[in-house]
Every structure is written in C-alpha cells, then in structure tokens.
Amino acid sequence: MAYMAEDGAPVEERGWVMLALFAHACIYLLLTVAEAIWVVALAVRVWRRREVGMITAVRTGVHKPTLAVLLAAKLTYVILRRVGIAKINQRTREYTLQHGRG
C-alpha cells in the first residue's frame, strides 16, 4: 500500500499499476459475464431438450466449441493474473528495499 500511496513512488509507475488494475477489473467482468451468459444459454438448451432424457439433453445441449473457448480464456486469465501479481509484488519489494522499509 505504501508503494501506491506515497509520493516517493514514480507517478508514471503508479499510473501503469492503476491501468493494470483497471484492465484486470474489465477483463474479470467480461469473463464473468460471458460465463454467466453461457450457463444461462446451456440451461435453456437442456431444459428445452429434457423430454429426451436428462443425460442426452446435457450431451446435446452443451456447445463444446464455446466451452473450449471459455476454458481457454479462464486459463489464460488465471495465468496472466498470477504473472501480474508477481510483477506487482516484485515492484513493491524493490520499492521497499530502495526506501529502507524492509
């Protein structure tokens, strides 16, 4: 928190961190909305095919290409999130060491 709050940190650096946090929030919301829409569409498809049996309805109701895209997007999000957190932690450690707070 000191890294982002103090005036000693470079303004440009804080700006990049804030942009990264904003981008993360937007990507997270977009991914969450896409997953929710997919689940609702899946539920509607399965409900409409329920007469053929629940197992068959689920098998035919799941749009596999969309599922694959959502899983790939979620995996990419998780990987990039971990990389981003590691970079922010590294910058915070460097700032703390430079300013003698650690």
pTM of the predicted model as reported, rounded to 2 decimal places:
0.74
Please, which pLDDT band fits residue 82 given cuts at 50, 70 and 90? Answer: very high
Q: Range with the lowest mean pLDDT among 4-8, 28-32, 41-45, 70-74?
A: 4-8
| Long-range residue pairs from 96-102, CB within 8 A, at least 24 positions apart, any chain | 96/2, 96/3, 99/8, 101/2
DSSP state, residue 99: T
Taking CA atoms, 51 is separated from 18, 43, 58, 63, in Å, by: 51, 14, 11, 19
Per-residue pLDDT band at 97 (split at 50, 70, 90): confident
Q: What is the pLDDT of residue 59?
A: 86
- 3-class SS at 45? helix
C-alpha count within 13 angstroms, C-beta hemisphere, residue 4:
10
Work out the pLDDT band at 3, boundaries 50, 70, 90.
Answer: low
Q: What is the mean pLDDT of residues 17-39?
A: 93
Neighbours of 88 (CB within 10 A): 15
If DSSP codes are grouped into helix, strand and coil, which group holds residue 63?
coil
- pLDDT given for residue 20 in this prediction: 86
Place of tokens 């000191």: 2
For residue 73, what pLDDT is reported?
Answer: 95
Q: What percent of the chain has pLDDT over 70?
A: 88
